[in-house]
Each structure stands twice: as structure tokens, then as C-alpha cells.
Structure 1
């Protein structure tokens, strides 16, 4: 596994757990050393203990050497990041290209380089041509694409028991090798049924992940657009979503309105998809994604506006508590976090903002050093005029509003995730607001 960030580390650990001799490689020596010592550099439930188990088994180790990687394995997974470019909406492929440039010259025997990262369609074909130029093995060093579908907080389960496997290949040999790699999932000796498998060409495999993320983002933004209508019409978006959920053509998953989506995948992937569609001359086909992105960003502004009104029309002299920093629960990932975007915007408008998160405080402090951070809900809420619930950690649902009443300056809370029990908070004397609800 080349690249030992969230994806690469999870995949390496889980492949070792499936019984494979596995080598993780990263150019960051400190990261490789930390993983070799059994220390996980991010939060993911269940992964650190599994990491230590696989290190102890001898099936897993880490290195910083491309030469060692080339000598070690027949199948190499490229798991590096593809962030948004700093100069535009497209994907930054420098890390993906660096893998080919670094590994290629050492590939002297037939092998397979398998991309797992989300990339613009057409990337795999271009990388395959470059790898054949660089590798002493020539075209016997092939490229395939195997998109990942990990959900932060469920990564181990999603790797060991995925809802589907997609193999983008350009030869029968590549398909055969990947079927061998995933044989424990495709042909389980006992237990659950085999994981569904879809074998495609390279371009289709590249499109699967970005198409899935685009559909998911569209569904989330749809219910948030309905929340905007509900706020004006005096309707209740939660009841609306419940009614929609019984339609089997729609379903209820991801129909909860709120402050919107964030993280390191959905926002940058839909923007990169739009940029690639424009390059291909088919931008009208995905023009709707621009509105999806804009709806999502409007939800953040809506929370800020609601908090200002709730606080008496101004943030000056107000103390605001933000519950949550991670973009989602069971993660310490703060990339494009709606919670932190809202917190920083409110701070810039004059409020004293304190943030509490069970796992993401260290990462949040690095990204937003001007914000204040607390070690508990009670400390964060001390003297607050408004509480904002912006990441749906289970612990926030367990807060006793009666007990918290003695801590705050004013009993006012905004549920930016529509997961709190409004009747419970109101019964304790709190003014309660939520997006899209009366």
C-alpha cells in the first residue's frame, strides 16, 4: 500500500487481517515509524487495535523505500490523496503521479499498480502509458483501478465487508490478479455471502466513486433545499423527510436536513467532477452539481444568520458554544468541516466562540488557532448565550439540558443536525431552533 494516510493504512491493516503479507510505504519517515510502533495518526474505531494485532502477527510492516516495495510484491495499491487544487476546482494529482514516477523505475518484473484514489476519468489510461515508459518490465507493469468506498467511522467494516467491489482492468491478467487478492471476500469459505463484484474498463471504474459521491451530495442538498422552503412556509422538514422515506424509490437514508456535508471527499470530488466534465466538453451534464454545492454552502450561512438572530441581532458581546469540530461523528477529520466553518465565521463577526469535540480538538486547533477550545461540554458552555449543535456525536444527544441550564448565560440552542430531542430541551426551559423546522 503506497501512501499510509486514512485509506492506505486502513487497507494495509485489513489486507494483513485477511492473511496477506502486506507492506505499507510512505515518503514520510515519521509516519512510517509511528505506524510501525502501532500508533495510529488519526481516529478510526477499531483500527488501532487491529494494526497492533497485524504487526504482532508479522504479516504487516512499513517502509519508506520504493525499491523495497518493488521487490516485495506483485500487486501495489496506490492510496495517496487527491485534494482539490489550490488554484481551481480540479483534482491535484501530484501525489498520484509521484507514485508512478517513484515506483516505476524499480518495476523489473510483471506486476500490477492498482489505483484506489478518486481521480478524474482518463487518469488511469495516462498513468498506464507513463508507467510502461518508466518500468524496466515495460507493459508487463500494468495499471488497474479499484475505487474505495470507505466511510469514516466504519472503515474497517467497509474494507472487510464492502457492499461491492469494482475492478477496472485492461487485461485478463489484471482481473485474475485482483480476483486472487479479493478471493477471501469473493469466495468466503463460510459465513456471509460473497461480496458483489463489478468488472469494468478503467474509465468506468474511475467514474463509479465520483458518481456515487455526486448522487449522495445531491440527495443531501435536496433535503436541505426543502428545508429552505419549509423555513419560509412554516412547514417541518423532518416530517417531510419521513413522509418521503416511505417511498421505496427514494428511501430515508441521507434525508436529514442540517448544516450540510463536508469532509475530504464529497466537496472536492463534486468540484473536480465539474472541472473534468468541462475539460471533456460535457459540462452541461453535471451543471446541477454547482447548485448542489451552493445549497450546501448556504446551509452554513443559514446557521450563522439564525445564531445571530437568536442572540439578539448581533454577535458582539456574545459567547457562542459550538458542539462539534469534526465533519462527522466517529472521526477526527476536520477537512472542510461545516462546524468549524460556522464557528470561524461567527468569531470573525465579533463573538467569543468556544468549541468542544470528543476527538477532533487537536486537528481543529491546528486549522483554526483563533478559536477557543474546551475539554468538556460543560466547560465549553460556561456563560454561553447560544449553543450550536453541529456534529452529531452520540454524547451530545445524551446531554442533560436541565443540568446544563446552570452553566449557560441563556438557555438557547440551535440543532444544526436535527438529531436532538426538541421536546426534551424545551421541557427544560430552553429556546430550541433547528433548520427547516418551526
Structure 2
């Protein structure tokens, strides 16, 4: 099929490359000319494992190209995927829908042939119905220009696999034609056994925010238990292991630590709260305020634990920070807990040096007042404490004895509960971890 993907950020670039990979002819569209130029050369403007190879292969095969023109997109595509961002609105919890509205307003007047516009962006429930009417009003094709909603469930770091091998496909539509077109788009996944669920528009919109809210709740729950463990001398990692063995609960997302960040979970639960208030059902979502507060409190608890580790004050101390991205296998620093903690400690008088596998450039651009190193050992030179804040595999493979030799004082705070603490203690480190006993 001829497919356009409008918006080439983390979602759109991956979706475009994956649609080309399964055999469709794809046109990626974005207003950012520099981003389009990079993608056209096969260079992703962000780090995502496997994406560079996928872009190069599909571009070389002639199935993927890029443009900045919505008119060209309308003339080219049978199916138009809308993948633009819906960030948190300034001064509000609500989602900023200006980008998605701009796409519909810019694309609609050029839709002169029957086609399907498919929203993949995360939006407040009710948005799709409004946009469906807008598309029909603007398009010269009238009702033949339909709209469906197909929420994305990819995770940064595994986005290519999540797109090519999704755990489910959800399609919001009341149209048999739209359903048939999307079944054709996703035919390889459906044939491979991926569950394909057809819902109404509102349910499809709610699936993503409901899923993210559940995951955020699970993360904040175990972090609340970590606070209890610290107060009682219990070990949150053993607690999580024990309750995770209950198949009604499961062990995934029960890792206590610094909490979640990034461009999705924080803004999605806040937008859900805002939409609940608009719908008059705010009491049903009130728990999400506490989920958000627990998550943000993890950052302050990390700062407090680091301060205690170095003797009660950061003044004049050198702190090494391992990790800048909000999660491993990504260079995304949006709402990064690691950088938030680093910046707060810097304000309290410490000298901070940050290392990250991929996110150093992005971090330096956003936090130029911090220092950066290209190797973990360089970041740790002369450090009074080392903070493990993003759980890159590289940090689990560090030699604590060699690292201890370059620090001023071998002290470690594992804020992600991902390191082998006895191994570090045996190498002479004083170790602290959130929600775990000191020894």
C-alpha cells in the first residue's frame, strides 16, 4: 500500500521504517527540514537500537522516502498515519493538541481521493471524534476521507521490535472499509498471530492512557513500598520478588528506584487527570495525583540519600553521575530523573560530571552547566560519590575495583537497584540503594 507517516519523531520515524520493511511504499513527512534531510540520508536524528540499519535498508530498496509537503503526502498516500507529539500544555496538565490539529488542517484540504487518516498519537478521549468531523469537513473527498484511531504501544529502546512484533493491535473505527484497509496494512503481523482488536474511537483512545496509567501506578506502588522498607529495614528487591511471583501481579515494572520519566508516562497521566476533570469524573482518577507525587518524590529521596552518603552536605563535593537518559537504550532526556537529580545536586554546591552511553550530547545541550565525560572512569575521577541513575548494561559490567582506584572516596548510590551490590562492597565500596538495607 502507499502509506504516509506524518511526524518523524520517536514514533513516526520508527513506524515509517517498519511499514517500509514489511513491504509498503512509505513517505515520511515532517516540518523539520534538518530532520528530514538526515532521515533521507538514512541517519536517524535520535538513538534507537536497530533503526539506522532499518532506515538504510528500506531507503536503499526504494520503499521509503521523505518530504516536508502535506500536499505531496495527500497526493501520494492511501493511508495517512498521524504520529506528531502531544506534549503537556504549558501551565497546565492538559495535552497540547496544536500539532495534531495543524496536521489535520494542513492535510485535509488536499484529500481529494478516498483515503484513511489514522491517528497514532496519544490524545485525550474525544479527540478522534472531533478530528473525524474536521477531516470530513475539510476534505474535497468528503465522507470518503475517513478517520480511525490506532494507538501506539512502542517503548523507546525496543521500538523497532515493538512495531514489527507488537503484542496487540487496537483499531478504533466503525467503518468496515477502514477496518479492511488497516488489516491489509498490518497483514504480516496479523498472520503471525498478533491479536487484532476493533473498538469504537473512544475506547481506542483510552487504551493507551489506561495502559500507561496502570504501568505508572505499578512503578509508584513499588517505590512507595521502598519508602516503607527504608523505614523498617526491609529489602524492597526481595519484597518485589516475592509479590511478583503471584501471577495475578507479575514481576514486570516492580523495580524500585528513581522512578519513571520520558516523554510519555508523566505527561500522559497528567493529561488523563485533566481530561477526567473536564468530563466530571475526576474522583475516578484522583489516585493518579498520588502516583505522580510518589514518582516525583523518588527524585528528592535520591538527592537526600546522596547527601547522606557524602556526610550531609554537597558543598565542595565531586559527584559522578552514571546515566543521563530517562531509560537505557535511548538518548531521550525528556523529563529525565537522572538529569533532574544531577541538576538539583549541582545547585546544592557539588561539582557534577555525567556519563551516558548515548545521551551526552542531548544532555549537554539542555544542561550546559554540568560537566560531561565520555568514559565512566573519567566521570568518576576524584569523585566523593558515584550515583547510578540510568541502568545501562555497560554500568552493570563495570569493574568496581578498578573504578574505586580513580575515586577520591569509593561511595556508591544505586538509585536503580540494578547493580550487584555485594560485588561492589567486596571491592571496598560503601554502598547505598533505595529501599534496601545499608549492609
1:113 equivalent to 2:117? Answer: yes
Distance 2:375 2:70 in 1: 44
Distance 2:330 2:268 in 1: 19
**1:384: Cα distance to partner?**
0.5
Report the counterpart of residue 304 of structure 2 in structure 1: 305
Report the counterpart of residue 85 of structure 2 in structure 1: 81
**1:133: Cα distance to partner?**
1.3
1:248 equivalent to 2:252? Answer: no
Distance 2:343 2:208 in 1: 31
Report the counterpart of residue 436 of structure 1 in structure 2: 435
Report the counterpart of residue 190 of structure 1 in structure 2: none
TM-score, normalized by length of structure 2?
A: 0.98
1:40 equivalent to 2:44? Answer: yes
1:157 equivalent to 2:161? Answer: yes
Report the counterpart of residue 97 of structure 2 in structure 1: 93
1:132 equivalent to 2:160? Answer: no
1:238 alignment partner, SS class: helix
Distance 1:197 1:163 in 2: 9
Q: Write out aligned runs for 1:316-395 (5 A).
A: 316-395=315-394
1:179 equivalent to 2:178? Answer: no
Structure 2 portions without partners, runs of 5+ = none
Q: Considering only aligned residues, what root-mean-square deviation do their CA atoms show, in Å?
A: 0.7
**1:130: Cα distance to partner?**
1.1
**1:367: Cα distance to partner?**
1.1
Distance 1:265 1:29 in 2: 25
Deviations 1:145-203 (A, max 9, x none): 0000001111111011100000001311111111111111112xxxxx41001100000
Report the counterpart of residue 397 of structure 2 in structure 1: 398
Q: Write out aligned runs for 1:207-356 (5 A).
A: 207-356=206-355
Deviations 1:230-266 (A, max 9, x none): 0001111011011101111011111110000000000
2:6 alignment partner, SS class: coil
1:307 alignment partner, SS class: helix
2:116 alignment partner, SS class: strand
1:158 alignment partner, SS class: helix
Distance 2:267 2:100 in 1: 16
2:29 corresponds, among 25, 28, 49, to 25
Flag as ranges the 4+ runs of structure 1 deviating above 3 A.
none
Distance 1:330 1:229 in 2: 31
Distance 2:33 2:253 in 1: 39
1:112 alignment partner, SS class: strand
TM-score, normalized by length of structure 1?
A: 0.98
Distance 1:388 1:138 in 2: 58
Distance 1:271 1:118 in 2: 12
**1:100: Cα distance to partner?**
0.3
1:173 alignment partner, SS class: helix
Distance 2:341 2:321 in 1: 9
1:150 alignment partner, SS class: coil
Structure 1 portions without partners, runs of 5+ = 188-192
Distance 2:110 2:290 in 1: 46
Report the counterpart of residue 146 of structure 1 in structure 2: 150
Distance 1:181 1:422 in 2: 48
**1:27: Cα distance to partner?**
1.1
1:103 corresponds, among 104, 107, 114, to 107
Number of residue pairs matched? 433
**1:81: Cα distance to partner?**
0.5
1:15 alignment partner, SS class: helix
1:195 alignment partner, SS class: coil
Distance 2:37 2:390 in 1: 32
